[in-house]
Structure formats: structure tokens, C-alpha cells
């Protein structure tokens, strides 16, 4: 199979347009209804959402690396520091950070090696293992949080108006609600 290629334009990742001029020359996907490809504004909004998040995560990760942390480490530290006794059941921590138990387990092992958290099993509680913030983990989140909030301001929050922040929260609320209902 060989196909003519049209011009590719800029190589920005688009995930939802017809891939590579799929629909040219009357070609259609076999055994499918016509897909509802995104309109121009839908495409722009979707790309902006993806690009903003990906670039932002990359930047925040770099800023946190100064302190030997990833954004995922930071999220774990915040969750534990906000929980009674600085501890959470592993299954609850996996839910709170939206990841699988096995992926969380690998991450906790790395953070354990760095002395930030410890695992505890409770003899009275058969519902599993807990992750607990260590003194070093607690000192770390206290030290890093002011720097992290400064990064979040510099690269995101302070670039938007309060009205835009409100609109963003309003727009995302049904998305978050819908996706949580699926989990």
C-alpha cells in the first residue's frame, strides 16, 4: 500500500483530526459510520488543553527536580500531609492520585528508598498496607511547597484573569464529574 502525502503543516500533535488526509479521494474507513471529526474550534481547544497540560507538567517537573522530586512524588507528599496521622491506605492513595495499585506501589518503593515515606502494615486492620509520611518527607513538603506554588503562579495562574479561572473551573466541572462517575 502506497499513498500520496499532502503537505503536513506544522508537526503539532493532533489526536483527533482525520489522520493524514484519510478522507481524501473519497476514501472512507471500512465498516464504520462516518466519524464525527472535531471542528476547527473543537480541535483548537483540544490541542490547547493538551499542549498547556503537557508543557506545564514538563516545566513543574523540572522545577521540582531541583529538590529531587517529580510532580508525582509531590502529589503523594501533599496527599499524605493532608491526611490524619500523615498516613493513607495504599488503595485510597491510588484512588486519590488516579493510578493503579501496581504503579503506585513502584512509586512508593522509590520514595521509600529516598526516605520520604514508609510502608506500614496494621495487624488490627486486614484491609492492607498504609503509606506514611516520614519526618524527612514532612520536612521536604514544607520546604518545597513555597517554591512549587511560585512555579504554578509563574507558569499558569498569574497568566490568567480571575474571570478566566472561574470559566475554566466551570467548564471542567462536568468533565470531572462525568469521568469520576466512570471510575
Q: What is the nearest approach in angstroms of a second copy to the Cβ of residue 21?
A: 9
Contact 131, 90 (CB under 8 A): yes
In terms of CB distance, is 124 or 135 closer to a second copy?
135
Question: Which H or E run includes 132?
Answer: strand 129-133
**CB closer to a second copy out of 46 and 67:** 46
Q: How far is the CB of 23 from a second copy (least distance, A)?
A: 10
We find the least distance from the C-beta atom of residue 59 to a second copy, in angstroms, to be: 6
From residue 22, give the alpha-carbon distance in Å to each of 11, 34, 128.
Answer: 17, 12, 50
CB of 2 to a second copy, least distance (A): 9
- For residue 34, give the DSSP letter: P
Cβ partners under 8 Å of residue 133, min gap 6 = 77, 80, 81, 86, 87, 116, 117, 141
Cα dihedral value 77, 78, 81, 84, nearest 10: -120
Q: How far is the CB of 25 from a second copy (least distance, A)?
A: 14
CA pair distance 37, 28, nearest whole angstrom = 13
Q: Toward a second copy, which CB reaches closer, 83 or 107?
A: 83
Amino acid at each position: 500500500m502506497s499513498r500520496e502525502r499532502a503537505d503536513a503543516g506544522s508537526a503539532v500533535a493532533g489526536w483527533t483530526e482525520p489522520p493524514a488526509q484519510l478522507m481524501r479521494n473519497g476514501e472512507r474507513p471500512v465498516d464504520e459510520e462516518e466519524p464525527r471529526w472535531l471542528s476547527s474550534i473543537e480541535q483548537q481547544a483540544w490541542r490547547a488543553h493538551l499542549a498547556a497540560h503537557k508543557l506545564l507538567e514538563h516545566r513543574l517537573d523540572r522545577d521540582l527536580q531541583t529538590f529531587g522530586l517529580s510532580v508525582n512524588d509531590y502529589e503523594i507528599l501533599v496527599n499524605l500531609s493532608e491526611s490524619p496521622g500523615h498516613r493513607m491506605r495504599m488503595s485510597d492513595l491510588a484512588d486519590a492520585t488516579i493510578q493503579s495499585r501496581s504503579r503506585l506501589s513502584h512509586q512508593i518503593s522509590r520514595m521509600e528508598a529516598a526516605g520520604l515515606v514508609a510502608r506500614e502494615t496494621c495487624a488490627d486492620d486486614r484491609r492492607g498496607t498504609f503509606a506514611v509520611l516520614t519526618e524527612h518527607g514532612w520536612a521536604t513538603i514544607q520546604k518545597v511547597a513555597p517554591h512549587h506554588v511560585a512555579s504554578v503562579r509563574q507558569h499558569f495562574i498569574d497568566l490568567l484573569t480571575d474571570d478566566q479561572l472561574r470559566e475554566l473551573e466551570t467548564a471542567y466541572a462536568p468533565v470531572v464529574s462525568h469521568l469520576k462517575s466512570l471510575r
